[in-house]
Amino acid sequence: MTDYELLQRLAYLQKTLKKLKELGASAFDEFNSDFRVSDAALYNLEVATETVVDLANRVITKRGGSHPRNRTETFRTLGTLGVIDKPVEMGLLKLALLRNTRANSYVDVNLQELYILLRNELPIISKAVKILRKELGMEEKR
């Protein structure tokens, strides 16, 4: 992936995080009863997770780490390399596990767990993105 492509993905990620913030602000009753809201949240969380994985893999390569085999290993490697602290690592692992559950099991995701994750882990994603951008010398311009 070129730097230009990565910058395009980062711009899209910012839009995605904004959507997730709006979706997380909805009341749980609406989130639970309207599939459009919960499905939009799930889709956007998956997009955010994949973008963070791409950023993370680029940082790992830059740091000389070995290429992780999967998403959870990617986030654990960031922790091992000292790029992220334990709370950020744990939050990203929750996202990876949600994505893996959704992509591989064809079962409904527990909407209450999804809602809690959305409300609690969104700041973790933002923090991780900021850290990874800094590592890559792609800090957001103000």
pLDDT for the residue numbered 7: 86
Mean pLDDT of 129-139: 91
pLDDT for the residue numbered 27: 93
pLDDT for the residue numbered 142: 60
Q: Do the beta carbons of residue 31 and residue 23 sit within 8 Å?
A: yes
Q: Find where tokens 């990203």 sit.
A: 92
- Domain map of the chain by residue range? 3-135
Place 141 in a pLDDT band, splitting at 50, 70 and 90.
low
pLDDT in tens, 64-119: 988 999 999 999 999 999 999 999 999 999 888 887 666 665 567 788 988 998 88
Candidates 3.40.50.10490, 1.10.8.60, 1.20.120.580, 3.80.30.20; CATH matching 3-135: 1.20.120.580
SS (H, E, C) 81-126: CCCCCHHHHHHHHHHHHHHHHHHHHCCCCCHHHHHHHHHHHHHHHH
